[in-house]
Amino acid sequence: MVKNIAKLSLHNFFQKSNKAEDFLKDYYIPDYILIPERKIQNDYDIASCPVLVFINSKSGGQLGGQLLLTYRTLLNKNQVFDLGEKAPDKVLHQFYSNLEKHKQNGDNLSHEIERRLRVIVSLVAGGDGTAGWILGVVSDLKLAHPPPIATVPLGTGNNLPFAFGWGKKNPGTNCQSVKSFLNQVKNGKEMKVDSWRILMKMKAPKEGSCVPITPLELPHSLHAFHHVSRADTLNKERHHIFRGGFWNYFSIGMDAQVSYAFHSERKLHPEKFRHQLVNQRTYGKLVCKQGWFCTSFVHPSSRNMGQLANVKIMKRPGEWIDLHIPRSIRSIVCLNLPSFSGGLNPWGRPNKKKLHERDLTPPYVDDGLLEVVGFRDAWHGLILFTPGGHGTRLAQAKRIRFEFQKGAGEHTFMRMDGEPWKQRLPADDDTEVIEISHFGQVNMLASPHCQSRSINAPTSDHFQEEEKDNNHEKDFEDDSEERRKLGAADTFRIPDGFDITHL
């Protein structure tokens, strides 16, 4: 009797183990594809949903480290990457180089992995910016089959996961939670999402620098394309040029100022920001201190946006028009997804009558248009928590341009996909420009609870090429090279000998 029970228990144990093994085979990538110089092996089954996983183990309290350990326990540890140790541009560079090498040697598994690959990004503090970093690298690769990306919310206020139905709360870091999430990733639907390129042209001042003011640096997905050296006396124009991209939003004004204050404090004193309630209380104090509930006389940068910049928009190719900014507006958000500041929707869902009267269209994430929204103050922002609440709808645009001139202030605050910075403004008579334009599209993975809306039915996994822009005017000098890539990683290089653009 005892022997029979023991045999039954052993049988059940091995049965469960085999089921677990079969489950994990669906996501497995073998070492020879991940590590250079490994020989092709033919004894692997074709995974139905091979994944690359990116996690920052040093963020989000202990959650990042716990999740990294769980994924490495369940999958091949070499397909799970710690962003604190390896940058995504180098990882993807090496991965696609290996794939191409093995494909040229006739390896069918490499073909299938490229076609079925999905990328998981675990978002913690500043997570939307991390996802933007990876999205930018994937965009710059120009692959025929770019992998769709799923985002795991580990922090608070991550907008990307909420926009695509992955929720706001940490789904868990234990084995069962990770297996459940992997299953959702396998069953997720691919969705095209617009990419937005940002170019910043700043004249180098006689003293100081255009580079953002410490303690924070530029977002991961925004890099210097051209820096002026002080020793370069032949360059009469002396313009710094930065380029990059975003997928959720770009904002300028008071909301970015409060976010900058919060991120600066957290960077200087990380030990004070380990609990969600404490973080929210600190953020609330900074909102009051920075003058977001009432006009601040301490911070001149809190003045209205009309004083700070001239804003132009393009609704039709080649036709720039001035955007009227009401005097009360102290913050502008250029929005691509219906998720901002922890899942709020600043644009809302205007009815058909309002859309017709103002020549607007319903908001989609793949229509080539940004929704431009203004806010007066934090009281105005609280409206978003009410049913049907929204900000001041200013416009929809294919391109938007901010022009700053001397006298607007010494600096302003900007934020892109959750990452804020403090930007110097002109100290002389030169006009400094920030221009945002449509760049192309990327693939995101959406769950059945997706908040974002597509203008088309969900598409296949074939990459949609960048939309042709027939407007040939040159808004920046040397723009032929600047506009070729987002520049999401200035260290990213496609290896010699591998024609990845025609895969």
Please list the rounded mean pLDDT of every run of 10 residues in the chain (503 residues).
49 43 82 86 84 80 80 94 89 92 89 93 65 85 89 71 80 87 93 93 71 74 69 58 89 84 72 58 56 49 74 91 89 89 78 83 92 76 63 92 82 87 81 90 91 70 36 44 58 43 37
Between CA 402 and CA 253 the distance in angstroms is: 12
Q: What is the 8-class DSSP label of residue 276?
A: H
Checking DSSP bridges between strand 118-123 and strand 51-55, what pairing results, if any?
parallel
User: For residues 401 and 311, is the Cβ–Cβ distance under 8 A?
Assistant: yes
Handedness of CA 39, 45, 47, 52 (dihedral sign): negative
Q: What is the pTM of this model?
A: 0.78
**Helices (H), ranges, 37-87:** 63-74
User: For residues 307 and 219, is the Cβ–Cβ distance under 8 A?
Assistant: no
Burial class of residue 42, CB neighbours in 10 A (0-12, 13-18, 19+): exposed
Question: Which pLDDT does position 284 carry in this prediction?
Answer: 58
Question: Which pLDDT does position 190 carry in this prediction?
Answer: 93
Question: Which pLDDT does position 474 carry in this prediction?
Answer: 45
> Which residue type, as a one-letter code, is found at position 306?
G
Count the Cβ atoms, other than its own, within 10 Å of residue 481. 10
CA dihedral 267, 269, 274, 278 (to 10 degrees): -100
Question: Which pLDDT does position 494 carry in this prediction?
Answer: 40
% helix, strand, coil for the chain, step of 5:
30, 25, 45
